[in-house]
Amino acid sequence: MKKILYTLSFIIALSACKENRNENTPIVDNVVDNAESSVSGSFKSSRHDDKIDQIYSELIKSNKNLQAIDDKVKIANDESNKVIFEYKEIFDKSESYYMNAKYHANAIGDSLMKIETLDMIKSSSDQYDLKMKNVTDLIAKVNANQEKMNDLYTIFKIKKTLPEIEKYQKAHPLKPDHLNGFINKQNQLLNEVKNLK
């Protein structure tokens, strides 16, 4: 008996899905329907299921100005990462050296020599930090500018893609008629099942 009920429910659900597909077909062609999961430009490192990036990527295919802006943002991000990496590598080696030096100094058995050595390391590290303060401030400025540029570009992409998702929503009107019909079929089947003896 249960198998028959499951089969009936499955058949009703399948027929509902087929009817639903016909009712909710798009009225017009739009960017969202054409958006591909493979995105390019500044989106290569983005998540592939990000709808904003997918839609925006589709928009820039037919707009040279948007493509040019996207290329500039991507190049600027790549360049700032390269510039910072050059400095970061030097800072990282110096930081590693001071960490290693402290580790070795802490292994010194004579407490007086240990303190003198740790003081010497700290003095050198502090002098290096002071000497490099201007550079670290500039790196912080580069990072802040890059973050601000990416924030502004994200806002721009959202502004450009919002109308497209709204067009998509209009092109895919969801009518409740089919759901109401399906609920009626379910209710009939529920009543039949309730009245089984």
Q: pLDDT digit string (tens) for 62-109?
A: 999 999 999 999 999 999 999 999 899 999 999 999 999 999 999 999
Q: pLDDT digit string (tens) for 28-48?
A: 566 777 665 444 545 444 556
- Output the pLDDT for position 47: 55
Question: Which residue has 């739009």 as its token pair?
Answer: 30
Question: Which residue has 């430009």 as its token pair?
Answer: 41
- Report the interhelical angle of 2-23 vs 177-194 (nearest 10°): 170
HSE-CB of 97 using CA atoms within 13 angstroms: 11
- Output the pLDDT for position 166: 93
Q: Residue 170 is encoded by which pair of tokens?
A: 């209009």
Q: How confident is the model at residue 58 (pLDDT cuts 50, 70, 90)?
A: very high
Q: CA-to-CA distance for 180 and 175, rounded, in angstroms?
A: 10
CB 97 within 8 A of CB 156: no
Q: pLDDT digit string (tens) for 100-157?
A: 999 999 999 999 999 999 999 999 999 999 999 999 999 999 999 999 999 999 999 9
Give the domain ranges of the chain: 1-24+175-197, 25-173
